[in-house]
Amino acid sequence: MDEPHLKQVSSWIETHQDEIVKTLAALVQIPSVIGNEAPAQAFMRQHYVQAKLEIDEFEPDYATLRQHPAFVDSEITFAGRRNVIGTWRANTANAAGRSVVLNGHTDVVSAEPLNAWQHDPFAATIIPSSTSKLGRMIGRGAQDMKSGLIANLFAVKALQACGIELNGDVILQSVIEEESGGGGGTLACFERAKQQGKLPDGMIATEPHWLDVCIAHPGILYFRVVVEGKSAHAGRAHDGINAAVEAAPIISMLGAWDKERAENKHYEPFERSNPAARRSCHLNVGMVKSGDWPSTVPGRCEIAVRMSFIPGESEQGIKDEIATRVYTISQNSPWLQKHPPKIEFFGWHTDPWVQDENHPFVQEFVKLVQMVRGGPDPLPIIMGMTAGLDTRFAQLYGVPAFAWGPKGANLHGANEYVELDSVIDTTRVLATFLMHWCGVKK
C-alpha cells in the first residue's frame, strides 16, 4: 500500500479528531430509541449530503418484506422510518475495484432505569479515562453503535479530503431497528441492492468488537408458552385453577434444559474469547406474566423465552424439541393434559450465521488491523459471539461480512460508554482498509 497515502490519511484524522468527537456527541444526544429513529436518520442524511455522497433514502415495504423467510417482525410500523444510504462512487475509469458496505444502526434500546446512570444517558458526557487520552463518552448508543456510524462516515471524509479516489464503491448504510431484528433495516437494504443489481463485495458492521473480528453468531428464537387456568376469588381458590402454579414446572423444565444444553452444546468459535466459561448457547426465561391482583387466582400465565442454538442445529428442529418438551412436562398435570399449553413464536428468529474465517475479506482485514493499529492492545482474534447481528443477512446474498468496531462497555446497560481513542483508531483502520480493498486510482 502507498505509504504517503497512509501518512496523509492518518494525519488528517488526527487533526480532525475533535470534529469526530463533536459529531458523535451530537448523534448520541438524539434519543433514537427503537421506533423513533427518524431524527437520528435525518442527522446522518445531512452528513452524507455534506460529504457529497449519492443519497438513497427509503421507507421499508412491510408487505413485501414480511414474505422473506429471514424477516423479523418488530411489530413497529415502518411509517416515517427510513433507511439512509450514502454511496461514494468509484473512479469510473476502473471498474475492477471491489465494493464494500460500512453498516451501522441509529436505533438504541431504552435507557431505563434512568436512576442507574451516573450521567444523563443522552448528554454524551465525556469523562477522563486511564485507557483513552481523549476520555470516554458516556451515553446510550455511544458504544452500540453510534460511534461505529461516525467512524464509517469520517473514514470516507478522510479519503475525500486527501484527494484519494477509489476503484470500488463505498456504501454507507445508516439503518433502523437492528435492535429488534433488522427486518426493516439491513435486510431491506440487501433486498434493495439485489433489486438494483448492486450487491456489494463485502460488508463490515462497525458494532463494538474492538478485540475481535466477529464472524459467527448462534441461531436465535423468541417464543412464549401460554398456560390457561381458571380464575377465582382467593378465598375460594379451590374453585379455580392457578395458571402460575401450573406453569411453574414448565419454567423449571426450561431452566434445567438450559443447563443441559450448556453442558452438551458447544461451537468452538463462540468460546474463543472466554474458554473458561465453555458456553455457546443460552435459554433465557426473560418474562413471566400472571395475574393482576393478590386476591384473584390467575387464570393465565405467559412465559416468554429467548433461546439460542449452535451451527448444526436448525430453527425447525429447535421448534420441534420445544413442543416435545413442553408436551412431556405437561403430562404430569391432569389439568394440562386436558388444557395443553400453547406455544407461540414471535419476534427474533434466525438460523446460525457463520462466515468462513479464511475468506480473503476477513483475512485481509485482520492483517491490516495488525499493521495499522499496533499499540498495547492485543491483536484482534477471529471469533463468534452469542448475540445476534445484522451481518447474518449478508450470507443470504453471497456477501462476506463481519463485525468490528470501537471499544467500550455496558452496552444495553447503565453508563454505557465508548473509549474515544478507539473511535479515532477505528476511523483510521477503516480508511486504510478501504484503500486496500477497493483499490486506489493511480
How far are the Cα atoms of 369, 376, 392 from residue 203, in angstroms, in the given order?
16, 27, 11
Q: What is the pLDDT of residue 1?
A: 58
Strand partners, 381: 212
Domains of the chain with bracketed CATH: 3-216+352-438 (3.40.630.10), 219-350 (3.30.70.360)
Please give the model's pTM, rounded to 2 decimal places.
0.93
Which tens digit of pLDDT belongs to each residue from 17-61? 999 999 999 999 999 999 999 999 999 999 999 999 999 999 999
Which tens digit of pLDDT belongs to each residue from 375-402? 666 678 899 999 899 999 999 999 999 9
Which tens digit of pLDDT belongs to each residue from 170-204? 999 999 999 999 999 999 999 999 999 999 999 99
Which tens digit of pLDDT belongs to each residue from 201-256? 999 999 998 789 999 999 999 999 999 999 999 999 999 999 999 999 999 999 99
Per the CB < 8 A criterion, the answer to whether 133 and 376 are in contact is no
3-state secondary structure of 336: helix
- Peptide bond preceding 145: is omega within 30 degrees of 0, i.e. cis? yes
The DSSP output letter for 341 is P
Q: What is the pLDDT of residue 442?
A: 79
Backbone dihedral region for residue 375 (phi beyond 0: left; psi -120 to 50: alpha; all else: beta): left
